Structure 1
Amino acid sequence: MLWDFSFFAIAVPAVIFAGISKGGFGSGAAFASASILALVMTPGQALALMLPLLMLIDVATLRPFWGKWHWPSARLLILGGIPGVLIGALLYRAVDDDVIRFLIGAMSVLFVLWQIVQRRGWISLSTRALSDKVGFFAGTAAGFTSFVSHAGGPPSAIYLLSLGLSKTQYQANTVLVFWIVNLLKAAAYAFLGIFTLDLLELNLVLAPFALLGAWIGVKAHCMVPERVFFAITYVLLSVTGTKLIYDAVS
C-alpha cells in the first residue's frame, strides 16, 4: 500500500503543500499534510512520515531567522514543550489508532475554528504580556498538540502575540521552538518504534518534493494572495478533519 500509485498520488501533493505552506506563508497549517496522509495510512505512520520532512523544510527556510529570536520567551516555550512531548508519548502508548485519528481530526477542525473566530474578531488576544507561567503552559500545550498532530502553533501563538514581538522575532521564535520540539518528538517517535525502515525510505523519496514545495512557496509568496491560500487550507483541514473524526467514531 505504501509504495503503490494511489499512495503517491496523495502523498506527493500533500508533501508539496507542506513545503508551500511553511516556505511561503510561515504557516502552522503545514500540519494539514499529516491530516491528509492519515486518511490513507495509520495515524502513527502519517505523523512519522511527515516529521522528518517538516524538519527538512525548517532547515531549508530558517537561515534568514537564525539568531533573531526573543530568547526569554523561546526558552519558556521550549522548557514547557518537554513535558508536553512526554505527555503525548505516554498517551500514544496508552491508546489505539482511532483515538489518535480522532485527535488529529479534532485538531484540524479546531484549528480552522480558531482562525475563523480570530479573523472575525470574535475573540481578542491579550494586549498585556502574559506571565512566564502562562508561557510555560503554552509550551506544554504546544508540545502535546505537536506530538499528536504536528499542530502546535495556536498555543504558542497565544503567548507570543501577547508579548508585542516584531514580526521577525515572532517568526524566528516559531522556527527555533518547533525545531527543538521536533527533535524531541523524533527521539520519542524512535523510542516508541513509530519510525520504520519503510517510512524512512519513503522520506528519502519524498524529500525532493518537500524542498520543491518550499521553493514554490517562496515564489508564490508574492504571487498568491494569503486569503486564497488560507481559504484552500481551511477547506482541506475541514474536510480531512471531519473525515478522520467520522472514521474514528464509526
Structure 2
Amino acid sequence: MIDLAPWAWILLAIAGTVVGLSKTALPGANTVSVAIFAALLPARTSTGALLLLLVVGDLFALLTWRRHAHWPTLLRLAPAVAAGLVLGAVFLAVAGNAVVRPVIGAILLAMVAITLWRRRRTTAAPEGAAHLGTTLGYGALGGFTTMVANAGGPVMSMYFLAMRTPVKVFLGTAAWFFAIVNIVKVPVLAGLGLITVPVLLMDAVLVPMVVIGALFGRWLIPRIHQALFDRIVLILTVLGALYLLIP
C-alpha cells in the first residue's frame, strides 16, 4: 500500500468521489481529480492510479448513457485519437516525474482555458460534419491529453459541441469514447510500470468512493445548479494546476 498521511487519504477519497460524479453527471469535474492525484502522488504514478478508477466510473457512464452513442463519430475520431495515444505513451516512457508534473499542470490550465473559450463560442459552432482538420486536431489532442494526464474530457467535449451533438447523444458518445480509450490505456500504462501492486491496493480502497460518486451523480443531475458547480470546479482546477507548476 502506498504510504500517505490521513489528510492525503481524505483528499484522494474526495477525488475518487468526483471521478464517479464526473462520469454520470458533471464531466468537467474530473480535472479536479487529476489535480489532486498529481499533487499527492508522483506524477507518473498518479496517471496510472487515476486511470483504474476512471475505468470503474466508465461502467456507470455506460449503464446510464450507453444506448445514445453515435458510432460514426467514434469511428471518424479513431485514427487521430490512436496517434495521440501513441505520442502520449512515448512521452510518459521518456519523461520523469519532474517533467510530467508541470506538464500535467499546464494541461489542466489549458483545459480550463479551452472550456471557457468553448462556452463563449458555443453559439458560433459550425453546423454539419466537422472539417477533417478539426477532427484530426481534436482527436490527436484528446488522445495525448488523456494518455498523459487523464484530462481529455474538455477537448472532446469541445469537439462534440462543435458538431452540435444533442445532449443524450453527446453523453452516450462520450461514455463509449472514454470507456474504450481507457481500457486501451490500461495495458500501455501497466507496461510502462505505472500500474503496480501498491497502486492496485490503493485503488481498491478508493473504488467504493467512485461508486458513491456515480450513484450520487445520477441522483444529482436533475437537481444541481449547473452554473455554480461549474465555477467551483474551474476554480479548484486552476488552484490545483498552479500548485503542480510550483517547483
Provide TM-score, normalisation by structure 1: 0.90
Runs of 4+ in 1 over 6 A off after TM superposition: none
Residue 154 of structure 1 is matched in structure 2 by 154
Q: For the structure 1 residues 162 and 10, does the alpha-carbon distance in structure 2 shift closer, same or farther, using more than 3 Å as the test?
A: closer
Q: Which digits, 9 at most, give the CA deviation of each residue in 1:93-151, with x for residues without a partner?
A: 12221221112111211222222233345994333421245323322211101011111
Partner of 1:209: 209
> CA separation in 2, counterparts of 1:14 and 1:156?
21
Structure 1 pair 34/157, CA: closer, same or farther in 2 (3 Å)?
closer
Amino acid of the residue matched to residue 9 of structure 1?
I
Deviations 1:42-69 (A, max 9, x none): 1112111111111111102212322421
Percent identity of equivalent pairs: 25
Which residue of the partner structure matches residue 17 of structure 2?
Answer: 16
Structure 1: state its 5+ residue gaps: none
- Unaligned stretches of 5+ in structure 2? none
Moved more, 113-122 or 12-21: 113-122
The Cα shift of 1:10 comes to: 1.4
Per-residue CA shift, 1:11-68, capped at 9, x if unaligned?
111111222222222x143132021121111111211111111111110221232242
Query: For residues 143 and 118 of structure 1, what CA distance do their matches in structure 2 show?
Result: 19
- Matched to 2:12, the amino acid is A
Distance 1:53 1:42 in 2: 17
Over the residues paired in the alignment, what is the CA RMSD in angstroms?
Answer: 2.0
Q: Does the C-alpha gap of structure 1 residues 87 and 133 become closer, same or farther in structure 2, counting only changes over 3 Å?
A: same
- Paired residues for 1:21-100 under 5 Å: 21-25=22-26, 27-100=27-100
**Segment of structure 1 superposing worse, 13-22 or 229-238:** 13-22
For residue 14 of structure 1, what is the amino acid of its counterpart?
A
Q: Note if contact 1:129-1:164 (Cα within 8 Å) is conserved in structure 2.
A: no
Question: Residues of 1 paired with 2:212 and 2:53: CA distance?
Answer: 12
TM-score, normalising length: structure 2: 0.91
Q: Which residue of 2 aligns with 1:2?
A: 3
- Amino acid paired to 1:10: L
